[in-house]
Structure 1
């Protein structure tokens, strides 16, 4: 309730809070029952807004967030692979060709691309 009051003051906005507690018949209301009813009636009388381009529900938000995280994972994986190949090339250039012995064809191909 204190935060709602602070928000109202900081943003010059009308706020109300209804807290329904288990076992209580009536909710706790801020700022007062009459003021809260006025704010809620005013809110309900507002025309329905046309959905904006950026609006999304929680499911879409989570899906977009997962996509973003997957992209970050892919980027980090590519950076790690690139670092590993650079490390191998560094060892080879400093006279340790034995690092190539345990590599599979995919790893050798990546090393070849990095050399090119």
Structure 2
């Protein structure tokens, strides 16, 4: 059974908005708790809302301060090592796609040369075999 598709827009009903916030906050904190337990990762959450004067801090204010101080004490290079924004993610995706494209181009080039060789063996090719580089590449492929 699939989930209903959620549309992300402002909930106009104030009571429904508060209820949704409360449920989602509880779900987020539960996931964070599972993450810290299962993966042994120090984590904290500070959630500011317009409904409360004070922010919600998980697991506790003292523990959150300890985790944040530990993070701030790291050198700048190590602190930002695993941080990403949308630009970095897109740049990595573009690099991966360019690598895949280049590999596919090389594969296509090899297949085209093999096809040209097969066609020439069947006397169906009008290729100019006077190009020394092409002949050397075909010789290499045959070997």
Assess same fold via TM > 0.5.
Answer: yes
Query: d(CA) in 2 for partners of 1:86 and 1:27?
Result: 71
Query: d(CA) in 1 for partners of 2:112 and 2:54?
Result: 61
In the alignment, structure 2 segments of 5+ residues that lack a partner are 1-28
* Contact 2:36 2:43 survives alignment (8 Å): yes
2:65 alignment partner in structure 1: 41
1:56 is displaced (CA, Å) by 5.9
1:79-100 CA-to-partner distances (Å, cap 9, x unmatched) read 11111111121121123234x3
Q: TM-score, normalised by structure 1?
A: 0.60
Give the superposed CA RMSD: 3.6
1:20-47 CA-to-partner distances (Å, cap 9, x unmatched) read 45x5345773646xx1x11221023326
Q: Give yes or no for the alignment of 1:29 onto 2:56.
A: yes
Q: Which has the higher contact order (CA 8 A, sep 6+)?
A: 1
C-alpha distance 18-95 of structure 1, shift in aligned 2 (>3 A): same
Q: TM-score, normalised by structure 2?
A: 0.51
Query: d(CA) in 1 for partners of 2:92 and 2:132?
Result: 34
In the alignment, structure 1 segments of 5+ residues that lack a partner are none
1:112 alignment partner in structure 2: 135
Question: Which of the residues 81, 99, 124 maps onto 1:55?
Answer: 81
C-alpha distance 14-25 of structure 1, shift in aligned 2 (>3 A): same
1:38-77 CA-to-partner distances (Å, cap 9, x unmatched) read 122102332622334x926535665455334323311211
Query: d(CA) in 2 for partners of 1:31 and 1:89?
Result: 68
C-alpha distance 48-93 of structure 1, shift in aligned 2 (>3 A): same
